[in-house]
Structure 1
Amino acid sequence: MNNNLPEKQPPEKTDWLLFPQEISRDDIEKEIKKTPIAIQKILNYYLLTDFESKYEEIHLFLKHFNENKKIPIAKINNPVIYKIIKTARSIQRQIHKLMGLLRFREIEGGYLYASFTSDFNIIGPLSLHFSRRFPEEKLIIHDTKRRKALFVEKGKLYEVVSLNTLPSDTDEESFFRQLWQRYHQNISITERENKKLQRQNIPLKFQHWLTEFKGSCALPQLDGNRENI
Structure 2
Amino acid sequence: MITTLFYDGSFEGILTAVFEIYARKLKHVKLLPNGTYSGAMFTDELTIITDDNRARRVLQGLTRKIASAGVQRLYAAHLAEILEEDNPIVGYMRYVFDNDKNIEDDYGNRYVLRISEIVRMVRREKHRMEAFIRFKKLKDETFYATVDPDFNVLPLILKHFRKRYADQKWIIYDTRRAFGLYYDLHQVEYITLDFSEEGVGKSIVSKYESDEGIYQVLWKEYFKSVNIGSRKNNKLHLRHVPKRYWKNLTEKL
Show the counterpart of 1:31: 58
Show the counterpart of 1:19: 44
Are residues 1:209 and 2:234 paired? no
Are residues 1:175 and 2:175 paired? no
Are residues 1:44 and 2:75 paired? yes
**Which one of the candidate residues 138, 144, 154 is aligned to 1:107?**
138
**Partner amino acid, structure 1, of 2:115:** I
SS of structure 1 residue aligned to 2:176 = coil
**Partner amino acid, structure 1, of 2:245:** F
Counterpart CA distance in 2 for 1:19 and 1:76 is 31
Counterpart CA distance in 2 for 1:82 and 1:15 is 20
Are residues 1:184 and 2:214 paired? no
TM, length-normalised to structure 1: 0.76
| Cα shift readout 1:58-91 (whole Å, capped 9, x = no counterpart) | 2221111222342633425443332222111211
User: Alpha-carbon deviation of 1:47?
Assistant: 2.5
User: Alpha-carbon deviation of 1:111?
Assistant: 0.8
User: Alpha-carbon deviation of 1:108?
Assistant: 1.6
| Cα shift readout 1:188-218 (whole Å, capped 9, x = no counterpart) | 444432111111222222222111111xxxx
Show the counterpart of 1:154: 185
Show the counterpart of 1:197: 236
User: Alpha-carbon deviation of 1:28?
Assistant: 4.5
Counterpart CA distance in 2 for 1:200 and 1:79 is 29
Q: For structure 1, list consecutive stretches of 5 or more residues without a partner in the other structure.
A: 1-8, 215-229
Show the counterpart of 2:34: none
Counterpart CA distance in 2 for 1:110 and 1:124 is 24
Q: For structure 2, list consecutive stretches of 5 or more residues without a partner in the other structure.
A: 3-25, 31-42, 196-201
SS of structure 2 residue aligned to 1:120 = coil
Are residues 1:61 and 2:54 paired? no
CA pair 29-97 structure 1, distance change in 2 beyond 3 A: farther
SS of structure 2 residue aligned to 1:58 = helix
**Partner amino acid, structure 1, of 2:178:** R
- Provide the aligned C-alpha RMSD in A: 2.8
Q: How many residues align?
A: 205
Contact 2:180 2:191 in 1 (8 A): yes
**Partner amino acid, structure 2, of 1:116:** V
Matches within 5 A, 1:86-125: 86-125=117-156
CA pair 92-186 structure 1, distance change in 2 beyond 3 A: closer
TM, length-normalised to structure 2: 0.69
**Partner amino acid, structure 1, of 2:59:** I
| Cα shift readout 1:81-109 (whole Å, capped 9, x = no counterpart) | 32222111211221122112211111121
User: Alpha-carbon deviation of 1:115?
Assistant: 0.9
